[in-house]
Amino acid sequence: MCGICGLAVRSGPAPDLQLLTRMCDTLVHRGPDDQGILLRDGVGLGVRRLAIIDPVGGHQPIHNEGKTTWIVFNGEIYNFPELRERLQDTGHRFYTHTDTEVIVHAYDEWGEGCVERLNGVFAFAIWDSRRGRLFLARDRLGVKPLYYALTPERLAFASELKALLSIPGLRRAVDLAALDDYLALEYVPSPRCIIAGIQKLPPGHTLTWDQVGGVACPRRYWDVDLTAGEQQPDRTPVAQHAEELRSVLLECVRKELIADVPLGVFLSGGIDSSTVTAMMTRLLPGKVHSFSIGFTDRSFDESGYAREVAAHLGTNHHEMIFETSMLTDLVPTVTQMMDEPLADASIVPTYLLSRFARESVTVALGGDGGDELFAGYPTLLAHRLAAYYQRMPAVMRDRLVPALVGRLPVSMDNISLDFKLKRFVDGAGYSVGERHARWLGSFTREQRAELLSPEVKAALDDSQPTDLVAEHLARHRFVDPLNSVLYLDMKMYLENDILVKLDRASMMASLEARVPLLNVDLVEHVARLPISLKLRGRESKFLLKRALHDVLPDRILGRGKKGFGMPVAKWLRGPLREMALAALSPEKIEREGFFQPAYVQRLLEEHLSGRKDNRKPLWTLLVFERWYDTYVAASPPVARPAFAVDRP
C-alpha cells in the first residue's frame, strides 16, 4: 500500500527533487515507512510506502533487469506468486520478493495487456524509457484512487488530489459540472474532479501518454457484466449455487490474506463483515483478530452484534466504546483531510475504527462491496415497490398519498420513517436513474435550480456537461430494471462513495484496508447469477444467506441493514450548530458566488427550528464549504479563479 505521484514533461523544466519531495510529503499518511523518487528523461516518479510485502527489500521505484522500465505502485496483487513463477519460467530475473516487481516484468512480457492478468487492487505508473511512454492503470472496481492532470506540455498524476495541488502554477478553479454532480449525488463521480483541469482515471481503465507527441490514450480493459444472468433461465438448484458461492468466497479471502505484516478484520456484526470473518477463521483458526467500535448512543451502536459473531466464530476480538462527542470532535479533522468533498458522514466512524485497528495490525479486511454485489440495499426493494406505486390511480398517487405523507410530523431521529416515506414519494414517479439519484442524493434538479447562483447556472447551461448516470445506463440494455440499479451502484456509489470513504479513512490512519468481496473472481462469479438469487421477494442477499446458513447465527443472517448511520440531523442542531452557521453564513455564501444565500439560510432556519429535516442538503453544503475553505480559499490568490466547467 502506497501513495504514488509523478510528473512527465514534453518541454519546459524537468521535474526536480524539490518538487517530487513536496508532492510525496502530502502523501506521508499513505506511506509512513519509506520514500522513493526517480528522476530521469524529463520524468519524475515519487512514492510513499506502507510496507506490506517484502518490507525490507521492496523499496520503490522498482525496475526491470535493464533498468529501462520503472514503476511506482499502490495496492496489492493477490496472484503475484503464480505470475512470478510463470515469468521466471520465461527467463525474467527478479531482485525483490514484491508484487510490485512482478508488474514490471508482466508489462515487459505482455505489454499494456498485463493488467488483464492481475488479480488485485492497484493504481500504478510505469515509465517505459525505451518507448518514451508513461503507462497508468487503475484496478477494475476502483478500490485504489488515481488522479491526473494533462496539458499539452505535461502529464501529472497522484493517489490524492492534494499532491497535484502542490504543483506550482496549477490553478484551483472549482469545476462546476463536478459541483453540480456533488450536490445531486453527495460525491464527485469519475472521471470528473472537483478541481477543473484534473480528472480521475476511471476503474478498469489504463492511460498511455507518449512523451514525443503528448498524446494520452485512455482504454477500457474491463467492465462488470450483469447481462449474463439475464440470458437464459437458471435451472441450477439453489443448494448447488450456495455451495459454489461458498467455495469462491473462501478462495477469494484466502488470496487476500497474503502479507508479511500482522492483519485482522473489521467486524460490525452485519452479514458482509461476518462473512469475511467466517472465511478467515476457517483459513486461520484461532489466529483471527477482529476489530469493532461501539458508541454510548444505542441508536447507531452495533457492538453487541459484533461481539456475538466474534464469540460464535472464535476470533480474538478487540472492541472500544466511544462517547458520541468523539465523533463530532473528529468532524473538523476528517473534513479537512478530505481533498475532495464527500458528504458521507460515516467516514468519521470509519476513520475511528481504522485508527483503533492500526494500533494492532497493518492490514484489515472488511465486508465492503457486499451490498452492491448481492443486492443488499433497501432501495432495491423500493425500486420494485415504485413500479406498483406508479400503477395506483392518479388521484391517490399524485394527490392523496403525497398529502398524507407531507403531514407526517418531522422527526430528527437517526432512523426516521417520515424522512424515508417523503423521499420515496418524491422519487417514485421518475425513471430508474433519476429516481435513484433523488432517493440517495441531497439536491434534486429543481432544488439545484433554486440553490445555484445565476452565474453558475448560466455557466452550466452554456457548457451542457455530460450526464454521467445516463452514460452508464446507455452502456448496457438490461431486461430487469433492478440490474440497472445494481450496475449504477457499482459504477457510481460504490466507487465514488463507499471505496473513497474506505480508502481515505484507512489511509488517514496508515492502515491498508482490503475488500475480498470485490475480488474480481467473486465479482465475475456473482455477476453471472440471476437477480432472483440476490433479491428474492422481500429477502435481500438471498444466496449469500443460503451459503452461510450453517456458518453464521440465524439472528445475524436475519438482521436488517444498519451500518454507520450518523445522527447528522441532531448534530446540526447541537454540537455542529455553530460550525454550520459560520460555514453557511449569508456573507460567506454571497462572497464565494456559488449559491443563493437566501436559499441556504432558509434550509438552515427550517432545520434549526425543527420545521423540516434538511440533514442531507445541509451536511452536503457544510462539507463542501469545509473543503473550499481548506483547499481553495486558503490558496494563493493567483491560483484561485472563480470557477470553470470541464467536460472530460
CA distance 479 to 498: 27
* Angle of helix 597-609 versus helix 615-628 axis, rounded to 10: 130
- Model confidence pLDDT, tens digit, residues 475-523: 888 888 889 999 999 999 999 999 999 999 999 999 999 999 999 999 9
d(CA 404, CA 407): 5
Q: Of the segments 212-226, 244-258, 553-567, which one has the largest average pLDDT value? A: 244-258
Task: Decide if 193 is catalytic.
Answer: no
CB 96 within 8 A of CB 62: yes
Q: Tell me which residue of 588, 576, 590, 587 sits closest to 618, measured CA to CA.
A: 576
Neighbouring C-beta atoms of residue 96, cutoff 10 Å: 17
417's enclosing H/E stretch is: helix 417-427
Give the integer Cα–Cα distance in Å for 632 and 635.
5
Tell me how far apart the alpha carbons of residues 594 and 341 are, in angstroms, rounded to a whole number.
15
Say which DSSP state 173 is in: P
pLDDT: which is higher, 404 or 5: 5
Average pLDDT over residues 26-43: 95
Same fold, 2-220 and 228-375+503-557: no
Average pLDDT for residues 237-253, to the nearest whole number? Answer: 97
Asked if 70 and 61 touch (Cβ cutoff 8 Å), the reply is yes
Give dist(CA 490, CA 314) in Å, integer: 33
CATH class of 2-220: alpha beta
Q: Which amino acid is at 525?
A: H
Write down the pLDDT at residue 251.
Answer: 98
Q: How confident is the model at residue 217 (pLDDT cuts 50, 70, 90)?
A: confident
CB half-sphere exposure, 447, CA atoms < 13 A? 19
Type of residue numbered 500: V
**Residue type at 368?**
D
Please give the pLDDT value at position 149: 96
Instruction: Report, as an integer, the average pLDDT of 60-69.
Output: 96
* Model confidence pLDDT, tens digit, residues 83-119: 999 999 999 999 999 999 999 999 999 999 999 999 9
Lowest mean pLDDT of 113-127, 373-387, 410-424, 587-601, name the range: 410-424
Determine what percent of the chain is predicted with pLDDT higher than 90: 73
First to last CA, the chain: 28
At 639, is the pLDDT very low, low, confident or very high (cuts 50, 70, 90)?
very low
Which DSSP category does 628 fall into?
A: H
Are 560 and 261 in contact by the 8 Å Cβ rule? The answer is no
State the pTM of this model: 0.93
31 vs 297, residue with greater confidence: 31
Q: What is the pLDDT of residue 214?
A: 87
pLDDT tier at 416, thresholds 50, 70, 90: low
Q: Where are the domains of the chain?
A: 2-220, 228-375+503-557, 567-648
| Mean pLDDT, the chain, integer | 90
Q: How far is CA 270 from the centre of its chain?
A: 19
What pLDDT is stored for residue 418 in this prediction? 54
Please report which residue ranges of 127-169 form alpha helices under DSSP H.
Answer: 161-165
* Residue 393 pLDDT: 67
Q: Which of 125, 127, 138 is nearest to 219 (CA)?
A: 138
Do the beta carbons of residue 231 and residue 180 sit within 8 Å?
no
d(CA 583, CA 633): 12
Q: How far is Cα 38 from Cα 507, in angstroms, rounded to an integer?
A: 23
pLDDT, greater one: 158 or 377: 158
| Domain 228-375+503-557 of CATH type 3.40.50.620 | yes
Check whether 135 has a pLDDT greater than 90. Answer: yes
Which is the catalytic residue, given 2, 24, 114, 252? 2
